[in-house]
């Protein structure tokens, strides 16, 4: 009698393991890993509640405010706050995130500006949120992004930093306008599950240096991003101290230049043909009260040295990067962060041999600020309809140094561009030769 062959149990075990792994992956991506690169916090997990038009006004539109607050309105129109919704980079990234509703809570923060109302967020999963149509949605108002009422209108009153306002509409003093708290909601985004950042993805608020800038100097975010000005707050009102509504930041090259100071030294200072020379560029975070670069994790600096021959052709280059290195899949892990803390500095060195015969060669020292990488820019244009040609790379420092004995003359003639850094490094502090850290001279004594 012929015996039937025994069936192997191994294929069934492997099938079970594959099925179990598939279930685990599905559960991880649907119940554990957030679909956006940040977690939720109560204050920005929902839009700012619907606001009624205060008595005495015709609408909540910024243009209505501009009828009396003319200068403030014009400043707001030029700001990135006004462009927060229709900014091409936001629109492309938002499309990449499948136009998820939660992004609107900072980019168009009022319920008045949003097409749906979020009723519930089961288990904190933004993609599972229960939404209903917002019958009071104003699509034209949405285009105003972070509009006046987003900060200044609550419960039928105009909030502001003055406790003695006289206006044709109800007003109320709000002390948060005199502190950093007014910036907190949208500039202090937290991490979510399986997101292991050293700091939140857009955590500028939490980076603010609290010893020198805040306690000793008494500075807050507004000192740089909303500079103080004396003028009437509205037409026919008295002149008083106020602030410009500009919010210049990471999209503004001049603002980035103001944050850095640069000094270049050489050893030897007057190299001869055939001699090795070392160029040292010291980059100082001399003007920002937070890390540089800050904000979106994609932002970074490159510190570049380019050797050019007499015809201007680049024959050699060295590029160093300052920013954050983040692993995005399957979990978010911040691998490395070499951004500069407030008042800190870093030396970048470059070695090269002076040509024996050729003349007219030079070394160009250059610092560039990148909102995103070239590869990311191509991806956004090719896959997510990035429109326009908005610049995403800015040169914040550039200087040519002759590669020869006249190098010392160029070094002695260094003058910091008034838009680059607050002052010469020697005027604001000194660099420790051992640690390489820049220390600001104390204002006391």
Q: What is the pLDDT of residues 410-444, one digit of tens each?
A: 888 875 443 343 333 333 444 343 333 334 443 33
Residue 316 lies in a domain: yes
Q: Same structural domain for residues 177 and 294?
A: no
Q: Same structural domain for residues 153 and 104?
A: yes
Q: Same structural domain for residues 232 and 298?
A: no
Residue 27 lies in a domain: no
Residue 99 lies in a domain: yes
The rounded distance, in Å, linking the Cα atoms of 262 and 283 is: 5
Chain-centroid distance of CA 2 in Å reads 77
Chain-centroid distance of CA 175 in Å reads 26
Instruction: Choose the final residue of a domain: 220, 243, 266.
Output: 243
Q: Same structural domain for residues 269 and 239?
A: no
Residue 438 lies in a domain: no
- 98: alpha, beta or left? (left if phi > 0; alpha if psi -120 to 50): left
Residue 34 lies in a domain: no
Please determine, for residue 66, whether its predicted confidence score (pLDDT) is greater than 60. yes
Tell the residue number behind the tokens 């507004």, with chain if given. Answer: 222
Q: What is the pLDDT of residues 79-88, one digit of tens each?
A: 999 999 999 9
Residue 248 lies in a domain: no
Q: What pLDDT, on a 0 to 100 scale, did the predictor assign at position 7?
A: 62
What are the backbone dihedrals phi and psi of residue 388, each rounded to the nearest 5 degrees, phi first?
75, 175
In contact, 190 and 200? CB cutoff 8 Å: yes
Dmax of the chain from CA atoms? Answer: 112
Q: Same structural domain for residues 89 and 222?
A: yes
Instruction: Choose the final residue of a domain: 219, 243, 267.
Output: 243
- Expressed as residue numbers, the domain containing 46 is 42-243
Q: Same structural domain for residues 279 and 425?
A: yes
Q: Same structural domain for residues 286 and 178?
A: no
Q: Same structural domain for residues 231 and 116?
A: yes
Q: What pLDDT, on a 0 to 100 scale, did the predictor assign at position 54?
A: 96
Count up the domains in the chain and report the number: 2
Residue 445 lies in a domain: no
Q: What pLDDT, on a 0 to 100 scale, did the predictor assign at position 22?
A: 87
Instruction: Choose the final residue of a domain: 191, 217, 243.
Output: 243
Q: Same structural domain for residues 278 and 172?
A: no
Q: Same structural domain for residues 215 and 124?
A: yes
Mean pLDDT (whole number) for 234-245: 92
Residue 442 lies in a domain: no
Q: Which CATH number is 421's domain given? A: 2.60.40.10
Q: What pLDDT, on a 0 to 100 scale, did the predictor assign at position 104?
A: 98
Q: What pLDDT, on a 0 to 100 scale, did the predictor assign at position 413?
A: 80
Please determine, for residue 334, whether its predicted confidence score (pLDDT) is greater than 50. yes
Q: Same structural domain for residues 355 and 425?
A: yes
Q: What pLDDT, on a 0 to 100 scale, did the predictor assign at position 357?
A: 81
The rounded distance, in Å, linking the Cα atoms of 302 and 283 is: 11
Q: Same structural domain for residues 300 and 210?
A: no
Q: Which of 46, 195, 194, 51 is nearest to 130 (CA)?
A: 46
């Amino acid at each position: 009698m012929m015996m039937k062959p025994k069936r192997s149990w191994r294929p069934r075990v492997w099938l079970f393991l594959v099925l179990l792994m598939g279930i685990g992956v599905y559960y991880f991506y649907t119940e554990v890993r957030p679909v956006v690169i940040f977690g939720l916090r109560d204050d920005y997990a929902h839009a700012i509640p619907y606001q009624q038009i205060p008595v005495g006004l015709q609408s909540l539109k910024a243009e209505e405010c501009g009828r009396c607050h003319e200068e403030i309105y014009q400043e707001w129109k030029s700001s990135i706050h006004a462009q927060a919704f229709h900014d091409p980079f936001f629109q492309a990234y938002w499309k990449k995130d499948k136009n998820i509703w939660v992004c609107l809570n900072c980019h168009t923060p009022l319920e008045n500006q949003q097409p749906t109302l979020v009723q519930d967020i089961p288990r904190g999963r933004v993609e599972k949120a229960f939404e209903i149509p917002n019958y009071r949605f104003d699509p034209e108002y949405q285009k105003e992004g972070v509009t006046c009422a987003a900060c200044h209108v609550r419960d039928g009153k105009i909030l502001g930093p003055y406790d003695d306002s006289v206006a044709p509409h109800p007003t109320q003093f709000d002390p948060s306008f005199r502190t950093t708290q007014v910036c907190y909601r949208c500039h202090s985004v937290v991490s979510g599950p399986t997101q292991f950042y050293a700091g939140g993805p857009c955590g500028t608020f939490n980076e603010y240096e609290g010893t020198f800038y805040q306690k000793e100097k008494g500075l807050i975010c507004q000192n740089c991003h909303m500079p103080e000005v004396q003028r009437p707050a509205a037409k026919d009102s008295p002149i008083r101290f106020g602030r410009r509504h500009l919010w210049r930041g990471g999209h503004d090259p001049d603002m980035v230049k103001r944050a850095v100071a640069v000094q270049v030294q050489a050893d030897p200072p007057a190299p001869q043909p055939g001699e090795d020379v070392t160029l040292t560029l010291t980059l100082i975070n001399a003007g920002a009260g937070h890390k540089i670069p800050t904000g979106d994790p994609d932002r970074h600096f490159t510190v570049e040295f380019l050797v050019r021959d007499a015809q201007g052709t680049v024959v050699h280059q060295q590029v160093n990067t300052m920013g954050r290195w983040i692993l995005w899949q399957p979990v978010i892990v911040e691998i490395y962060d070499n951004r500069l803390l407030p008042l800190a500095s870093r030396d970048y060195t470059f070695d090269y041999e002076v040509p024996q015969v050729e003349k007219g060669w030079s070394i160009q020292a250059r610092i560039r600020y990148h909102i995103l990488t070239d590869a990311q820019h191509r991806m956004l244009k090719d896959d997510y309809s990035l429109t326009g040609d908005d610049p995403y790379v800015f040169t914040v420092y550039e200087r040519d140094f002759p590669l020869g004995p006249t190098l010392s003359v160029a070094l002695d003639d260094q003058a910091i561009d008034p838009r680059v850094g607050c002052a010469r490094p020697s005027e604001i502090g000194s660099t420790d030769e051992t640690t390489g850290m820049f220390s600001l001279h104390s204002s006391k004594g």
